[in-house]
C-alpha cells in the first residue's frame, strides 16, 4: 500500500529524516519508535505531504505521490490525526466530525457507535471538550474521511490515564477490527507495539532497527536499549 524508498525530507534546507525506506501492506500496522527529536513525527508529516521532500521516492499503491498536495493524498485514502488535534473550537462536535466527511463505510452513525461519548456531546463546542475528548474528535473526523491508512502522531500525549485507555481501546478496535492500516508514533512504546504488527526504531533521522512488534514486546530490555526511552516510553 505504502512504500518509501531512500526518502530524505525536512523543513526548508534542513534535513530531518535521511535515507528512510519502509513498506506497509494493505491493512498493515506499524509502530514508529525512538526518543524525542529523532524524526518520527517528521516521517509521519512527510507521508502526509507536510515537509519538503529532498530525495527518494514515496509511492501509494504503486503510484508516485512525493510531489502530491495534501488534499490529493487525503483523497487517495491517507488520514491524519495530528499531535495538536486541531479541533475547531467554535464548531460543535458533530460539525467537527463531518466537516470533511467522505461517503463510505465509516458513517457518522458508525463513529458514534465506536465513540458513544461523542454522541453524548455532539452539540458541545470544541472549546468545551477535554483534551481526551478532543482527541476522540480528531480520530472520528479522520475516520469519516474513510481512509485506507491512518497516521497517528502521539495520540496519547497529555491525556489522563482513564482517557488514554479509552483512546487506546478505540485505536485498538480500529487497527485490528476494521482493515484500516495504521502508522503510529507514540512515546509509550508498549502501547504502540500493542497496536502494531511491525515496528521500526529511529535515531537521528534514520531507521536503525525493524522488527516484528511481538519480538520487542517479548524482549523489553532490547526495546529499552533500542529506544532509550524506558519501558513506558517516558
pLDDT tens profile 100-154: 899 999 999 999 999 999 999 999 999 999 988 999 999 999 999 999 999 999 9
pTM of the model: 0.90
Query: How far is residue 138 CA from its own chain's centroid?
Result: 11
- Please report the pLDDT score of residue 160 as a whole number: 86
What does the pLDDT read at residue 18? 97
Q: What are phi and psi of 62, to 5 degrees?
A: 90, -15
How far apart are the C-alpha atoms of 189 and 154, rounded to whole Å?
11
Judge contact between 15 and 205, C-beta under 8 A. Answer: yes
Distances (CA, A) of 92 to 116, 122, 232: 15, 6, 35
Local confidence band at 230 (pLDDT 50, 70, 90 cut-offs): very low
In the prediction, which pLDDT does 229 show?
53
pLDDT tens digits, one per residue of 176-226: 888 899 999 998 899 999 999 999 999 999 999 999 999 999 998 989 888
Higher pLDDT, 5 or 35: 5
In whole angstroms, what is the distance from residue 92 CA to residue 85 CA?
15
- Please name the residue that has the C-alpha cell 480528531: 138
pLDDT at 232 over 70: no
**Which CATH number is associated with domain 27-38+76-227?**
3.40.50.300
Q: Show the DSSP H helices in 69-187 as ranges.
A: 70-76, 93-98, 108-114, 116-120, 131-143, 161-177
Between strands 198-203 and 29-33, the pairing is: parallel
The whole-number average pLDDT for the span 45-67 is: 96
Amino acid at each position: 500500500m505504502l512504500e518509501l524508498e531512500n526518502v530524505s525530507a525536512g523543513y526548508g534546507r534542513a534535513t530531518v529524516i535521511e535515507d528512510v525506506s519502509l513498506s506497509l501492506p494493505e491493512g498493515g500496522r506499524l509502530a514508529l519508535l525512538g526518543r524525542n527529536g529523532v524524526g518520527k513525527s517528521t516521517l509521519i508529516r512527510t507521508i502526509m505531504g507536510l515537509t519538503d521532500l529532498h530525495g527518494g521516492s514515496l509511492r501509494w499503491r504503486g503510484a508516485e505521490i512525493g510531489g502530491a498536495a495534501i488534499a490529493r493524498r487525503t483523497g487517495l485514502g491517507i488520514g491524519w490525526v495530528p499531535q495538536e488535534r486541531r479541533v475547531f473550537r467554535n464548531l460543535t462536535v458533530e460539525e467537527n466530525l463531518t466537516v470533511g466527511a467522505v461517503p463510505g463505510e465509516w458513517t457518522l452513525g458508525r463513529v458514534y457507535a465506536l465513540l458513544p461519548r461523542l454522541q453524548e456531546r455532539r452539540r458541545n463546542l470544541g472549546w468545551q471538550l477535554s483534551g481526551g475528548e478532543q482527541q476522540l474528535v480528531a480520530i472520528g473526523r479522520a475516520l469519516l474521511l474513510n481512509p485506507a491508512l491512518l497516521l497517528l502522531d502521539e495520540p496519547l500525549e497529555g491525556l489522563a490515564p482513564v482517557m488514554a485507555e479509552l483512546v487506546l481501546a478505540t485505536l485498538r478496535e480500529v487497527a485490528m477490527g476494521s482493515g484500516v492500516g495504521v502508522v503510529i508514533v507514540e512515546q509509550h512504546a508498549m502501547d504502540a507495539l500493542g497496536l502494531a504488527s511491525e515496528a521500526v526504531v529511529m535515531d537521528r533521522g534514520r531507521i536503525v532497527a525493524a522488527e516484528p512488534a511481538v519480538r520487542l514486546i517479548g524482549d523489553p530490555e532490547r526495546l529499552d536499549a533500542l529506544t532509550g526511552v524506558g519501558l513506558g516510553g517516558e
